[in-house]
Amino acid sequence: MNTMSYKGYHARIEYDDEDEIFFGKIAGISDVIGFHAESVTELKRAFHEAVDDYVATCHQIGKEPQKPYSGKMMFRVDPEVHRRAAMAAELSGKSLNQWAEETLEKAAEQAGQTRRAG
C-alpha cells in the first residue's frame, strides 16, 4: 500500500512516470492538500511540511484544522441486514456498535492485506 502517516493525517502516494515525480494528497478531509517530490526522502519531508503548514495556516486564520475521521459513522442498510447484524451482536454478547466496529475492522484489515498482496 502506498501511504504515509504523520500526526494523525494519512496520504495516498502515487508516481507520475511522465513527470518522474511522486505526489500525494492528504486523505480523509475535505480541504485539498497535495504535495510532490522527486525522491521518497523529499516526499516524506514535503508531506510533513504540508501537514504542518496546513495546521499552522488554520490556526492563523482562526479555523479548526480538519481531523481525518471523527469515529462517528452513520449509514443506512437494508432492514434485513440490520436485523441480522443486531442478532449476531446479541448472540456474541456485544452491543451492535461493538460488533460493527470489530466487523468493520476485520474487513478493513482484509482489504489492506489484499491491496498489499496485489
Position 67 in a domain: no
Task: Looking at the structure, tell me whether residues 57 and 10 fall in a common domain.
Answer: yes
Read off φ and ψ for residue 101, nearest 5 degrees: -60, -45
Grid cell, residue 83, equals 436485523
Between 114 and 102, the more confident residue is: 102
Q: 18, 7 in Cβ contact below 8 A? A: no
3-state class of 91 per DSSP? helix
Task: Looking at the structure, tell me whether residues 89 and 43 fall in a common domain.
Answer: no
Task: Looking at the structure, tell me whether residues 56 and 83 fall in a common domain.
Answer: no
Task: Looking at the structure, tell me whether residues 14 and 54 fall in a common domain.
Answer: yes
Task: Looking at the structure, tell me whether residues 52 and 13 fall in a common domain.
Answer: yes
Task: Looking at the structure, tell me whether residues 51 and 84 fall in a common domain.
Answer: no
Residue 50 banded pLDDT, cuts 50, 70, 90: very high
Q: 85, 100 in Cβ contact below 8 A? A: yes
User: pLDDT averaged over the chain?
Assistant: 90
Residue 31 carries which DSSP code? S
Position 70 in a domain: no
Amino acid type, 68 = P
Count: domains in the chain? 2
pLDDT score at 114: 66
Task: Looking at the structure, tell me whether residues 51 and 83 fall in a common domain.
Answer: no
% of the chain at pLDDT higher than 90: 74
Query: pLDDT by residue (tens digit) across 81-98?
Result: 999 999 999 999 999 999
> How far, CA to CA in Å, does 80 sit from each of 84, 87, 99?
6, 11, 16
pLDDT score at 111: 85
Task: Looking at the structure, tell me whether residues 54 and 84 fall in a common domain.
Answer: no
Task: Looking at the structure, tell me whether residues 85 and 51 fall in a common domain.
Answer: no
Position 15 in a domain: yes
pLDDT score at 1: 58
